[in-house]
Amino acid sequence: MSFWKGKKVIVTGGAGFLGSWLIEKLKASGCLEIFIPRRSDYDLTKEADVERLYRDTEADIVIHLAAVVGGIGANKANPGKFLYENLVMGAMMMEHARRNNIKKFTAIGTICAYPKFTNIPFKEEDLWNGYPEETNAPYGLAKKMMLVQSQAYREQYGFNSIFLLPVNLYGPGDNFDLNSSHVIPAMIRKCVDAINKGDKEIIVWGTGEPTREFFYVEDCAEGILLATEHYNKSEPINLGSGMEISIKDLVDMIAKLTEFSGKIVWDVTKPDGQPRRRLDTSKAEREFGFSAKMDFEEGLRRTIKWYRENRK
């Protein structure tokens, strides 16, 4: 409570999925001055708008969540857009934070920054051991440049910025648009909609063989706030749950929880993405006492419930 009291905080992306959870936790922690820049007012890919944002707010802390993001399909369709807009947003937000004497800058990276073939579990020191998985490499590398910028700015300017690497998020309020959603909301929507329409099958991309780690959005928001309060180094930090599940087992679990009993058809002409993902999350626990709390099946139940109540 005492850390956030009296602080002025900018949260880019604060109206989004993760941002809305983070804002609620900030308020509960005693932060009363929170500024959420809307794209209609501040286009963070334009330097004049970034300069005006800092003039208008006179903030103490920036939490940079804003990103142009999507699943495999969206990444394949928009590699140039995803690279440019994420790269420019991150670079300008941090540079102008430095110029405006912001006391702390929390940069949110992505698990897509890791090399395609990384030993399990992913350790932070593995980040530079190879090229990311091709379908989301432009996005992953654009976000990873904030890590390089953070380290360079700490070395040259003494600027206090940190870089966090959250794994795949899910939870109530997620993006359920099939053109841009990630695997959990996409599968929930396909199963629930198939039940409501009376469809006898759903189509799923890939082979189902890859594995993923999933991280409940409320846990992630908690981790980001703890890191912002207590962590003051530029070495990257993983944020995750430490679990691992195959896409096939995930789809079977969602089908069971939604009570979809139809056929699951695997479209093997579509890409699988990175073969395996599971993080080593010990550094976050060691550095600022964070560990995820949400049981995965319970998190899925809450997400399914939210979609059913809000799907229209």
- Mean pLDDT (10-residue bins), the chain, 312 residues: 90 96 96 96 98 97 92 84 97 98 97 93 97 92 98 98 96 91 94 96 95 97 98 97 96 98 95 89 98 98 97 78
Phi, then psi, of 63 in degrees rounded to 5: -115, 110
Q: Which residues pair with 239 in a beta bridge?
A: 166
Please report whether residue 222 resides in a domain.
yes
Tell me what pLDDT residue 72 has. 75
E-strand stretches of 46-145: 61-64, 104-108
Tell me what pLDDT residue 27 has. 96
Q: Hey, what are 306's tokens?
A: 């939210």
Please, are residues 100 and 213 in contact by the beta-carbon 8 Å criterion?
no
Q: Residue 36 sits in a domain of what CATH number? A: 3.40.50.720
CA distances (Å), origin 88, targets 43, 81, 156, 213? 11, 11, 21, 28
Please, are residues 70 and 180 in contact by the beta-carbon 8 Å criterion?
yes
Please, are residues 146 and 109 in contact by the beta-carbon 8 Å criterion?
yes
Please report whether residue 310 resides in a domain.
no
Please report whether residue 98 resides in a domain.
yes
Residue 162 CA, distance from chain mean position: 15
Residues involved in catalysis: 139
Tell me what pLDDT residue 69 has. 80
Domain range for 13 is 8-170+213-243+276-294
Please, are residues 257 and 188 in contact by the beta-carbon 8 Å criterion?
no
Task: Quote the CA–CA distance of 127 and 235 in Å, as a whole number.
Answer: 11
For residue 237, which of 73, 122, 132, 157 has the smallest C-alpha distance? 122
Please, are residues 25 and 4 in contact by the beta-carbon 8 Å criterion?
no
Please report whether residue 184 resides in a domain.
no
Please report whether residue 207 resides in a domain.
no
CA distances (Å), origin 84, targets 60, 77, 81, 100? 27, 14, 5, 24
E-strand stretches of 123-200: 161-166, 168-170
Please report whether residue 303 resides in a domain.
no
Convert the pLDDT of each residue in 241-291 to its tens digit: 999 999 999 999 999 999 999 999 999 999 888 888 999 999 999 999 999
b/e code 187-220 from CB counts within 10 Å (16+ = b):
bbbbbbbbbeeeeeebebbbebebbbbbbbbbbb
Domain count, the chain: 1
Please report whether residue 43 resides in a domain.
yes
Tell me the one-letter amino acid at 77: A
Residues shown for the chain? 312
Residue 106 CA, distance from chain mean position: 13
Please, are residues 143 and 110 in contact by the beta-carbon 8 Å criterion?
yes
Q: Is 306 exposed, middle or buried (0-12, 13-18, 19+ CB in 10 A)?
A: middle
Task: Quote the CA–CA distance of 54 and 99 in Å, as a whole number.
Answer: 10
Please report whether residue 63 resides in a domain.
yes
Tell me what pLDDT residue 1 has. 55
Tell me what pLDDT residue 259 has. 97
Q: Is 95 helix (H, G, I), strand (E, B) or coil?
A: helix
